[in-house]
Amino acid sequence: MSTTSNIVPIDRADEQQLRVDLAAALRLAAYYDWHEGVANHFSAAVSPDGKKFLVNPRWKHFSRAKASELLLVDADDPETMKRPNAPDPSAWSIHSAIHKHVPHARVVLHLHPPHATALAGLKDPSIKPIDQTTARFFNRLAMDMSFGGIANDEAEGERIATTIGNYSNVMMANHGVTTVARTVAEAFDAMYHLERAARTMVLAYSTGQPLNVMNDELAESVAQEWDVYKDAEFSHFEEMKLVLDRENPGYAD
């Protein structure tokens, strides 16, 4: 797993902005129909070591997420799940382990979006570089092929954290997907494009024709070219918050 370098403390103003951004991301997941009932979970670290983090409240619909209602929890606190407002058990299992063991995962988004989850149910759930969006994930997608049931215990969370390692995107066989990043904007943009890439794969498979897969050299070149558009990740998220302001305001409350 990666080291704890380049981690900076979070002050109160930063925490409030994290709350607003995480609530916005939750509502956007509902906007795009990536959510699954009142399950799935997002988190964002607020301490330098990542162990104190925000997470969405248990079983509240993503479309109603508010900054003020996000839970502040400590991955080292064994009493967390005894609280009256304890988070979802699988949220605690997955996110506490990732925030403890994967320092570059300041923000963690875990979802079961339709196309990525459909792909996760295939014998080969990998994303092939067949266009520029799928190529974004060439050699940049961890594959978790050891689904052990609903993640409601410490062992499953620890296993998922180990699988992530130094990656930022994870395809979880028989389960769903997870993206991790330094910021909410980057994690959201990665999730958006991961689901788009999965949709492209599912649609391509549905034709029954052979896939026109790029060679490794071209795929790597295209993946690196995405770095040129790094700033677009932040613009994408800010633009989508403006859409929320118009269509589903109140997330910053």
Distance CA 74, CA 76 (A): 5
pTM of this structure: 0.94
Amino acid 3: pLDDT: 34
Phi and psi at residue 214, to the nearest 5°: -65, 150
Three-state DSSP class for residue 175: coil
- The pLDDT tens digits for 72-116 are 999 999 899 999 999 999 999 999 999 999 999 999 999 999 999
Residues in the chain: 253
Is 149 within a domain? yes
Is 7 within a domain? no
- The pLDDT tens digits for 6-55 are 434 456 779 999 999 999 999 999 999 999 999 999 999 999 999 999 99
CB-based burial, 211-232: b 16+ in 10 Å, e otherwise: eeebeeeebbebbeebeeeeee
DSSP string, 14-54: HHHHHHHHHHHHHHHHHHTT--BTTB-EEEEE-STTS-EEE
Is 253 within a domain? no
Residue 148: pLDDT above 90? no
Distance CA 251, CA 19 (A): 9
Average pLDDT of the residues in 111-132: 98
Report how many domains make up the chain. 1
Is 134 within a domain? yes
- Structural domain of residue 189, as residue ranges? 12-246
- The pLDDT tens digits for 130-141 are 999 999 999 999
Amino acid 209: pLDDT: 99
Average pLDDT of the residues in 175-181: 97
Q: Give me 113's structure tokens.
A: 């979006």
CATH number reported for the structural domain that contains residue 117 in this entry: 3.40.225.10
